[in-house]
């Protein structure tokens, strides 16, 4: 594709990476900022995971064991918030930071200072949020942390919200500011800084999916800001948005929230599609089966995501016409999603497949994400949803798309690009252990949730009826196993960061295509300072 | 343009991380300010207010210094046309995000007017809702009597709000005349018309202050007056806040016009302030039609 490797070697590196704390605090380098995002996201993944362990410990056996129900509610709430806003989204932004400038031949992100601001807001926002949990757990008499579920439905968050709700509101404002600025940076980098010759329809699919994701972020994060603002006003300033006595309606909250919330779901999966569409062709040694159809399918999913939000609300008593509209629109999403899944399968069909670590994660993604997609289709059917609503079936569904979907794709991306980031190959032994251990435990953890959900076990309860005891025991075992398995990834990542392992060539996967493989491994501090040639 | 190289601050910048500290201080201070104001029994002390104000001060100073840096870079010839494109696109997407923020409140307005209030009044299949909850409730818009009996008055469109519409529309015209003057390089004309725009912006805000005072003291139209008051003040209030920001932005670019920072092909900040102004103007037109008039 280019001769960038040669020019890089010849080009004497007069820009040394700045050193010390300032390098990270004052950074304007997309690679350093990407690295910070990725470590932050992993720290949040472990934090949110720890909360999940508390939940699973309490649910190991029926009856109350370790925590009181109030604290259990705080755990489910903050686990969700931390995983969505702290783990999955920042991981994707970190990947975007690292890879998009490399992939489109740009010298850096378009707005480097704003890029650093987007990152540095996050640790402060999560200090506000997690601080309220620590206070609640360790400072006696201190008010509870947010306990209304990550969806913070009114009136749980308004009339009945604990005092910490206000800290939660402001931390969500901050996360929103961070996401919007990050998304603006991605869009502008993609639209304005592509190397000459990198036409839109030549862009890697990871770039395409992130471009569309960024659009979704800019469109819906402000709506979330509106929702938390209305909550704050209702709580303290006498407004009646969610209060029927003043002419408002608690259901209004759900509309505003899910207008954000459903596109948010795709924000957390579209970049995964891009990652998998990069990895499968590499290890199948075949180009992607249908590039253009992938682009159009991604755009269709994004557009449809704006007209399906009320499928989260089938049981609140919507008018029949509305219910039907949202049901059919939701089922329509399975068409472009099917286009994607068939595309991936057709890419692998009759390819010269090899099963290196990224490929293993990517194949697991295709299979298990499809599983989560199918349970989503079941939930889309209104009368069926009446049965499934707020049961563990829903929990199973969204953990299949978010854990074995989004998180698995993030691991796939990490194993795929770690050689480029660190210059060394991730440990095969640890990686294999991490993969198989995660794969088996995740299914032990999430698959039985379908059954207890169908049998009627409600979500977000600290206790359950006796007939669910056996399944819940095994779910909890799967949970602890999955949680512990992630320590293996700590070892993989730390070894790479310490440059321990086999040295990686510029293109360690051989058949990998794309500008990022044209620069040396590890990628130099500055890349593409002069635009690469694109044939 | 001065350079082919895309400008990336070589030695980084302290402002992003300082601004994050500012945001955190503001947010934490605001939460404690609220707790100490509304719940003094559980939250003794009055320091939240000062933490909040300190946070705002940090943000203000940071933004000033951050902008000072970029202005110096621009004046120093470090920016090029591609970077100008990034700035312009970034500003456009920022305005789009603002549109979506107002969209949330407009959505709440339409949902309230078209669905909630009629349903509370028994429309559709909600006869029993009406009968069981508030049988005396009358569905109407503006909602001047809430289900639980709080009364207010509706804001008349064709008085002060119509005047304010004229003020804001005129300000967009004067700003556009200024824009043409900028393109033609007539700085004196630009300064005059931009100054006029700022004056019109301040007039708008003053008239809105009069309107709010009238609403609160004479009409019983407050944040506490039910959903009509909630939507009225949140929509017009956020708009007013944006007019305030827009006016400050115009004042900053006006001082830069006076210093001769801009030319027809190097005027991103000026254009951004103008776009922002037109954006708040368009939002107002929607407000006037949907909140005041219809």
Which residues of chain B make contact with A218, given a CB cutoff of 8 A? 93, 96-97, 100
Would you say A240 and A248 are in contact if contact means Cβ atoms under 8 Å apart? yes
In a domain, A15, yes or no: no
Residues of chain B with CATH 1.20.120.80: 80-293
pLDDT at residue number A16:
61
B31 to A170: CB separation less than 8 angstroms, yes or no: yes
Indicate which residue of A262, A286, A399, A495 is catalytic. Answer: A262
- Residues in chain A with CB shorter than 8 Å from the CB of B233 are 239
CB B48 within 8 A of CB A191: no
Q: B273 is written with which tokens?
A: 């302030």
B89 shares contact with chain A (CB less than 8 Å): yes
pLDDT value at position A17? 67
**Structural domain boundaries, residue A359:** 4-8+24-144+158-190+206-244+257-517
Residues in B closer than 8 angstroms to A174, CB to CB, are: 23-24, 27
Q: Whole-number mean pLDDT of chain A?
A: 95
B133 and A244: CB-CB below 8 Å?
yes
Q: What is the pLDDT of residue B5?
A: 84
In the annotation, is A179 catalytic? yes
Residue A9 pLDDT exceeds 60:
no
The verdict on a CB contact (< 8 Å) between A171 and B27 is yes
Chain A residues close to B31, C-beta within 8 Å: 128, 166-167, 169-170
Q: Give me the mean pLDDT over the B64-91 stretch.
A: 94
Residue A252 within a domain? no
pTM for the full model? Answer: 0.95
Torsion of CA A245, A461, A169, A164, to 10 degrees: 100
CA distance B189 to chain A (A): 33
Architecture in CATH for domain B1-79? Orthogonal Bundle (1.10)
Interface check for B114 against chain A (CB to CB < 8 A): the answer is no
CB A422, CB A372: distance < 8 Å: no
Place A136 in a pLDDT band, splitting at 50, 70 and 90: confident
- In the prediction, which pLDDT does B11 show? 81
**Using the beta-carbon criterion (under 8 Å), do A117 and B16 form an inter-chain contact?**
yes
Question: Residue A196 falls within a domain, yes or no?
Answer: no
* Tokens linked to A396: 């199973």
Residue B215 pLDDT exceeds 80: yes
Looking at residue B3, its pLDDT comes to: 61
For residue B236, the distance in angstroms to the closest alpha carbon of chain A comes to 14
The whole-angstrom separation of Cα A535 and Cα B15 is 40
Asked, for residue A387, whether it belongs to a domain, the answer is: yes
Among A9-18, A274-283, A432-441, B88-97, the range scoring the smallest mean pLDDT is: A9-18
Is A312 catalytic? The answer is yes
* Joined tokens for residue A52: 């999940």
Domain assignment present for residue A502? The answer is yes
Cα separation of A295 and A285, whole Å? Answer: 21
Torsion sign, CA atoms A7, A96, B27, B87: positive
Secondary structure of residue A145 in the 3-state scheme: coil
- Pick the residue from chain B with its C-alpha nearest to A116: B16
Q: Which residue of A has its CA nearest to B152?
A: A246
**CB of A97 closer than 8 Å to CB of A30:** yes
Pick the more confident residue, A40 or A531: A40
A337 is catalytic: yes
Topology of the domain comprising B80-293: 1.20.120
Concatenated DSSP letters for A310-337?
Answer: GGG-GGG---HHHHHHHHHHHHHTHHHH
Q: DSSP assignment, residue A391?
A: B
Nearest to B111 among A28, A218, A252 (CB): A252
Catalytic residue among A56, A194, A311, A450: A311
Dihedral of the CA atoms B21, B27, B30, B35 (nearest 10)? Answer: -120
Instruction: Place B221 in a pLDDT band, splitting at 50, 70 and 90.
Output: very high
A345 with A313: CB under 8 angstroms?
Answer: no
Q: Is residue A250 part of a domain?
A: no
Q: Please, what sign has the CA dihedral across residues A416, A421, A425, A431?
A: negative
Does B41 reach chain A within 8 Å, measured CB to CB? no
| A-proximal residues of B, 152-191, CB under 8 Å | none
Q: Nearest residue of A to residue B82 by CA position?
A: A192
Work out how many CB contacts closer than 8 A connect A with B: 214
Contact with chain A for residue B135, Cβ under 8 A: no
From A31-40, A310-319, B13-22, B37-46, the region with the lowest mean pLDDT: B37-46
Q: Please, are residues A450 and A393 in contact by the beta-carbon 8 Å criterion?
A: yes
User: Are B222 and A238 a contacting pair at CB < 8 A?
Assistant: yes
CB contact under 8 A, B28 and A128: yes
Which pLDDT tens digit goes with each residue over B134-179? 999 999 999 999 999 999 999 999 999 999 999 999 999 999 999 9
| C-alpha dihedral, A191 to A192 to A198 to A201, nearest 10° | 10
Domain with CATH 1.10.287.70 in chain B: 1-79
Residues of A in contact with B12 (CB under 8 A): 18, 22-23, 25-29, 116
Res. A142: pLDDT tops 80: no
Query: Is residue B235 less than 8 Å (CB to CB) from chain A?
Result: no
Cβ pair B107:A256 closer than 8 A: yes
Query: Average pLDDT in the A415-441 region?
Result: 98
Mean pLDDT of A328-350: 97
Check residue A109 and report its DSSP letter.
-
Q: Are A191 and B17 within 8 A, CB to CB?
A: no
- Give the model's pLDDT for residue A135: 85
Classified as helix, coil or strand, A503 is strand
Q: In Å, how far is B83's CA from the nearest CA of chain A?
A: 8
A235 given a catalytic annotation: no
pLDDT tens digits, residue range B82-141? 999 999 999 999 999 999 999 999 999 999 999 999 999 999 889 999 999 999 999 999
State the average pLDDT over residues A202-228: 98
pLDDT digits (tens, 9 = 90+) for A260-309: 999 999 999 999 999 999 999 999 999 999 999 999 999 999 999 999 99
Q: Rounded distance, CA A518 to CA B181, Å?
A: 49
Q: Is A247 helix (H, G, I), strand (E, B) or coil?
A: coil
Distance of residue B199 Cα from the nearest chain A Cα, in angstroms: 30
**For residue A176, is it within any domain?**
yes
Residues 42-61 of B with CB under 8 A from A: 42
In chain A, the number of structural domains is 1
Q: Which of A24, A39, A117, A150 is catalytic?
A: A150
Average pLDDT over chain B reads 95
Is there a contact between B23 and A233 if contact means CB atoms under 8 Å apart?
no
Given a cut of 70, whether residue A4 has pLDDT beyond it is: no
Tell me the percentage of chain A whose pLDDT exceeds 70.
Answer: 97
Task: Tell me if B180 sits within 8 A of B192, measured CB to CB.
Answer: no
- The least confident of B32-46, B107-121, B205-219 is B32-46
| 3-state helix, strand and coil shares in percent for chain B, rounded to the nearest 5 | 75, 0, 25
The residue among A204 and B3 whose pLDDT is bigger is: A204
Report yes or no on A198 lying in a domain.
no
User: Region A203-220: what's the mean pLDDT?
Assistant: 98
**Where residue A469 sits, what CATH number does that domain have?**
1.20.210.10
ipTM, two decimals, is: 0.96
pLDDT confidence of residue A1 = 38
First vs last C-alpha separation in chain A: 6
A353 to chain B, closest Cα gap in Å = 41
Q: Do A188 and B24 touch (CB under 8 A)?
A: no
Per CB-CB distance under 8 Å, the chain A contacts of B20 are 117, 120-121, 123-124
């Amino acid at each position: 594709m280019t001769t960038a490797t040669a020019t890089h070697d010849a080009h004497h590196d007069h820009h040394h990476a700045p050193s010390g704390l300032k390098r990270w605090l004052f950074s304007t380098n997309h690679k350093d900022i990407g690295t910070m995002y990725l470590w932050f996201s992993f720290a949040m993944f472990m934090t949110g995971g720890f909360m999940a362990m508390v939940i699973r410990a309490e649910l190991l056996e029926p009856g109350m064991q370790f925590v009181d129900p109030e604290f259990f509610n705080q755990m489910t709430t903050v686990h969700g918030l931390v995983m969505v806003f702290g783990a999955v989204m920042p991981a994707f932004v970190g990947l975007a930071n690292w890879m998009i400038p490399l992939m489109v031949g740009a010298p850096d992100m378009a707005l480097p200072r704003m890029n650093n601001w987007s990152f540095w807001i996050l640790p402060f926002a999560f200090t506000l949020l997690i601080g309220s949990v620590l206070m609640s757990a360790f400072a006696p008499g201190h008010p509870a942390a947010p306990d209304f579920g990550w969806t913070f439905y009114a009136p749980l968050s308004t009339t009945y919200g604990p005092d910490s709700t206000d800290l939660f509101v402001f931390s969500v404002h901050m996360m929103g500011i961070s996401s919007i600025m990050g998304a603006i940076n991605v869009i502008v980098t993609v639209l304005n800084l592509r190397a000459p010759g990198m036409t839109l329809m030549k862009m890697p699919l990871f770039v395409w999916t992130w471009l569309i994701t960024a659009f979704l972020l800019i469109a819906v994060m402000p709506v979330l800001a509106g929702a938390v603002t209305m909550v704050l006003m209702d709580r303290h300033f006498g407004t009646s948005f969610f209060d029927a006595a003043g002419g408002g309606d608690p259901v209004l909250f759900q509309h505003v929230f899910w207008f954000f919330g459903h596109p948010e779901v795709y924000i957390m999966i579209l970049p995964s599609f891009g990652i998998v569409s990069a990895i499968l062709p590499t290890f199948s040694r075949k180009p992607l089966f249908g590039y253009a159809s992938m682009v159009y399918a991604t755009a269709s999913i994004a557009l449809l995501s704006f007209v399906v939000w009320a499928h989260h609300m089938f049981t609140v008593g919507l008018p029949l016409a509305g219910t039907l509209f949202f049901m059919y629109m939701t089922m329509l999403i399975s068409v472009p999603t099917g286009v994607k899944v068939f595309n991936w399968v057709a890419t692998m069909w009759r390819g010269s497949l090899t099963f290196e670590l990224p490929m293993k994660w990517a194949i697991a993604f295709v299979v298990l994400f499809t599983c989560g997609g199918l349970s989503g289709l079941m939930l889309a059917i209104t009368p069926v949803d009446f049965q499934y609503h707020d049961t563990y079936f829903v929990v199973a569904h969204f953990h299949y798309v978010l854990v074995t979907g989004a998180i698995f794709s993030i691991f796939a991306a990490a194993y795929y690009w770690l050689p480029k980031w660190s210059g060394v190959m991730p440990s095969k032994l640890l990686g294999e252990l991490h993969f198989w251990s995660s794969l088996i435990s995740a299914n032990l953890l999430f698959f039985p949730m379908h059954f207890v959900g169908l049998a009627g076990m409600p979500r977000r309860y600290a206790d359950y009826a006796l007939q669910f005891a056996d399944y819940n025991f095994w779910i909890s075992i799967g949970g602890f196993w999955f949680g512990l398995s992630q320590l293996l990834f700590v070892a993989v990542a730390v070894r790479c960061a310490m440059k321990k392992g086999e040295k990686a060539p510029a293109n360690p996967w051989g058949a990998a295509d794309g500008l990022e493989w044209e620069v040396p491994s590890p990628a130099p501090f500055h890349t593409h300072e002069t635009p690469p040639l694109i044939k | 343009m001065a350079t082919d190289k895309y400008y990336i601050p070589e030695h980084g910048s302290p402002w992003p991380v300082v601004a994050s500290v500012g945001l955190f201080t503001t947010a934490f201070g605001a939460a404690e300010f609220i707790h100490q104001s509304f719940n003094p029994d559980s939250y003794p002390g009055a320091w939240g207010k000062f933490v909040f104000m300190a946070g705002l001060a940090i943000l203000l100073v940071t933004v000033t210094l951050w902008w000072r840096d970029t202005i110096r870079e621009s004046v120093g010839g470090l920016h090029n046309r591609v970077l100008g494109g990034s700035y312009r696109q970034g500003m456009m997407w920022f305005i789009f995000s603002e549109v979506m923020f107002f969209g949330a409140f407009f959505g709440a307005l339409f949902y309230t007017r078209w669905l909630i209030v009629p349903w509370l009044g028994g429309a559709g299949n909600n006869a029993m809702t009406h009968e069981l909850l508030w049988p005396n409730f009358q569905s109407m818009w503006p909602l001047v009597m809430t289900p639980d009996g709080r009364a207010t008055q509706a804001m008349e469109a064709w008085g002060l709000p119509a005047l304010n519409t004229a003020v804001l529309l005129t300000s967009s015209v004067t700003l556009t005349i200024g824009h043409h003057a900028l393109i033609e390089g007539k700085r004196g004309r630009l300064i005059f018309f931009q100054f006029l725009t700022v004056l019109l912006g301040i007039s708008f805000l003053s008239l809105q202050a009069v309107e709010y005072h009238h609403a609160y003291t004479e009409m019983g139209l407050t944040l506490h007056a039910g959903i009509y008051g909630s939507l009225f003040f949140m929509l017009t209030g956020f708009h007013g806040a944006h007019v305030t920001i827009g006016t400050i932005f115009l004042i900053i670019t006006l001082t830069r016009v006076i210093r001769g920072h801009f030319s027809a092909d190097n005027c991103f900040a000026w254009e951004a302030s103008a776009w922002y102004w037109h954006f708040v103007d368009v939002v107002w037109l929607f407000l006037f039609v949907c909140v005041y008039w219809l």
